Amino acid sequence: MILNETLRLYSPAINLLRRVEREVRLGKLIIPANTEFYIPLLALHHDPEIWGQDVHLFKPERFAEGVAKATSNNITGFIPFGFGPRVCVGSNFAVNEVKIALSMILQRYKFTLSPDYVHDPIQIIIVLPQKGVQIVLGKL
Ligand code: HEM
């Protein structure tokens, strides 16, 4: 739940790019060949119509009953690793790596955010904390 909520609010990739190979009809739209689409996944992840008025709050419990429930069955409402045939091949690796790293840290330390921390996310290819994330580690 915490990982999902972090990926929702601070999606490392903010856009997906797709090119239409041949003319296609999408609903009422006719899309010519070679049209490029930027699919703004960060905007989807911050859409109050999908997530509700508390969209900007960090609320891991919104995922308590799974992604489908959190997005009201909007299958493309939460796509931090992309979607379709070109979905991220490293997604399982990335999620497992974070779970292992977090569980190793949590077994040994307690930690709090340092008073020096400044919340200032920036996009430089991916979204990252511009001034880092300073934390204070303590023995358990
Ligand atoms: C939190 C970590 C990560 C995030 C948020 C992420 C996100 C993404 C996104 C959004 C895409 C584009 C998917 C699409 O166009 O539908 C992508 C593609 C890709 N990712 Fe990741 N990724 C992560 C970690 C990794 C890792 C750890 C690896 C490799 C070990 C990896 C390898 C790839 C590759 C090879 C592609 C291209 C897949 C293709 O075009 O067929 N990613 N990733």
C-alpha of residue 117 to centroid of ligand 1, in Å = 28
Give the amino acid at 124.
Answer: I
**Cα–Cα distance for residue pair 42/132, rounded to 1 Å:** 21
Q: Which atom of ligand 1 is nearest to the CA of 16?
A: 15
109-131 pLDDT, tens digit per residue, is: 999 999 999 999 999 999 999 99
Residues whose CB is less than 8 angstroms from the CB of residue 76 and which lie 6 or more positions away in sequence, other chains included: 44, 83
Minimal-distance CA residue to ligand 1 atom 1: 94
Give the DSSP per-residue string, 75-90: TTS--TT--GGG--TT
Separation of 102 CA from ligand 1 center, angstroms?
21
Name the token pair of 132. 């880092």
90 lines ligand 1 (CB under 6 A): yes
What pairing do the DSSP bridges indicate for beta strands 24-26 and 126-129?
unpaired
Pairing assessment for the beta strands 36-39 and 16-19 based on DSSP bridges: antiparallel
The residue whose C-alpha atom lies closest to atom 35 belonging to ligand 1 is 89
Query: What pLDDT is stored for residue 117 in this prediction?
Result: 96
Q: Identify the pLDDT of residue 39.
A: 94
Q: What phi, psi does 25 have (nearest 5°)?
A: -100, 130
Burial degree of 71 (CB within 10 A; 0-12, 13-18, 19+): buried
Q: What is the position in ligand 1's atom list of the atom closest to the CA of 84? A: 16
What pTM does this model have?
Answer: 0.93
